[in-house]
């Protein structure tokens, strides 16, 4: 697996091609914004029709990352399901896959704005969790202490490559905070030059673009020329 190693708050972390974060010293895999059941929610509430296999695709990717990293702990950084109680609408096969993935692992569900955490599933349910110098929560707090790790914004960045604009989900980090990309399939994203993100991140912030070979670039804070 091609991962990109970087340092945050003096801890060595790995950005995975999928958008997951791995902390080797803690054997901890972190994923954000799974949005499981997005297509089920759309079908139930009359939204846009999405491919019905998005949950299966997300869980398959998560299974691969768990196998590759040998993680013993998992933190899901909120918005794990696309709407409250939606876990009850998932196909039985997907629920079985999810509970199988949880077996034997220390699994933490962080509360998101789309869901309070899937309380009917196993694992620990928290609003936030601090491990060493890092604090995990769903949404970044403007006045947070250094070491905050969050999701919520689904950041993505544009890289100009051979005259073409390459748009990828990305991690964003500076000296204070780290924001993860959305892990779920068909989740969309917010460009790094959006004011909601430029207000949070310092001028020296970096972006790590996901994909087969994650790469680190200065965080694009200005919209690319069209």
Using alpha carbons, select from 92, 107, 105, 87 the residue that is nearest to residue 31: 107
The Cα 14–Cα 163 span in angstroms is: 29
Instruction: Look at strands 21-23 and 215-218 and give their pairing.
Output: unpaired
What angle, 0 to 180 degrees and rounded to 10, lies between the N-to-C axes of helices 54-69 and 38-45? 160
Q: What kind of fold does domain 4-218 have according to CATH?
A: Purple Acid Phosphatase; chain A, domain 2 (3.60.21)
What is the structure's pLDDT at 41? Answer: 52
The pLDDT of residue 72 is above 80 = yes
In the structure, what pLDDT confidence band is assigned to residue 181 with cuts at 50, 70 and 90? very high
pLDDT in tens, 42-61: 545 454 545 557 788 999 99
CB neighbourhood size of 222 (10 A): 8
In the structure, what pLDDT confidence band is assigned to residue 66 with cuts at 50, 70 and 90? very high
The pLDDT of residue 178 is above 70 = yes
In the structure, what pLDDT confidence band is assigned to residue 202 with cuts at 50, 70 and 90? very high
Report the percent of the chain where pLDDT is more than 70. 85
Region of 114 (left: φ > 0; alpha: ψ -120 to 50; beta: rest) is alpha
Can you give the pTM of this predicted structure? 0.91
Give the residue extent of every domain in the chain. Answer: 4-218
What is the structure's pLDDT at 49? Answer: 47
Asked which of 63-67, 76-80, 93-97 is least confident by mean pLDDT, the reply is: 93-97
pLDDT in tens, 14-46: 999 999 999 999 999 999 999 887 655 554 545
Average pLDDT over residues 148-155: 97
In the structure, what pLDDT confidence band is assigned to residue 226 with cuts at 50, 70 and 90? low
More confident residue, 43 or 197: 197
From residue 100, how far is each of 42, 110, 116 by CA, in Å? 26, 19, 22
């Amino acid at each position: 697996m091609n991962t990109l190693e970087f340092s945050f708050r003096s801890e060595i972390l790995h950005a995975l091609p999928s958008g997951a974060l791995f902390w080797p010293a803690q054997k901890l895999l972190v994923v954000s914004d799974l949005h499981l059941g997005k297509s089920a929610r759309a079908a139930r509430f009359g939204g846009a029709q999405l491919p019905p296999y998005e949950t299966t695709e997300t869980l398959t990717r998560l299974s691969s990352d768990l196998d590759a990293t040998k993680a013993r702990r998992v933190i899901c950084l909120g918005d794990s399901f696309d709407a409250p109680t939606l876990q009850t609408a998932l196909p039985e096969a997907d629920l079985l896959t999810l509970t199988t993935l949880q077996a034997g692992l220390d699994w933490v569900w962080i509360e998101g704005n789309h869901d309070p955490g899937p309380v009917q599933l196993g694992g620990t349910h928290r609003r936030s969790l601090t491990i060493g110098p890092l604090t995990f929560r769903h949404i970044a707090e403007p006045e947070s202490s250094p070491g905050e790790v969050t999701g919520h914004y689904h950041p993505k960045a544009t890289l100009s490559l051979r005259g073409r604009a390459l748009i990828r989900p990305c991690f964003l980090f500076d000296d204070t905070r780290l924001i993860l990309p959305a892990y779920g399939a068909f989740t969309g994203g917010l460009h790094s030059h959006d004011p909601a993100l430029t207000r949070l991140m310092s001028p020296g912030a970096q972006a790590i673009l996901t994909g087969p070979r994650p790469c680190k670039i200065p965080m694009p804070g200005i919209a690319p020329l069209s």
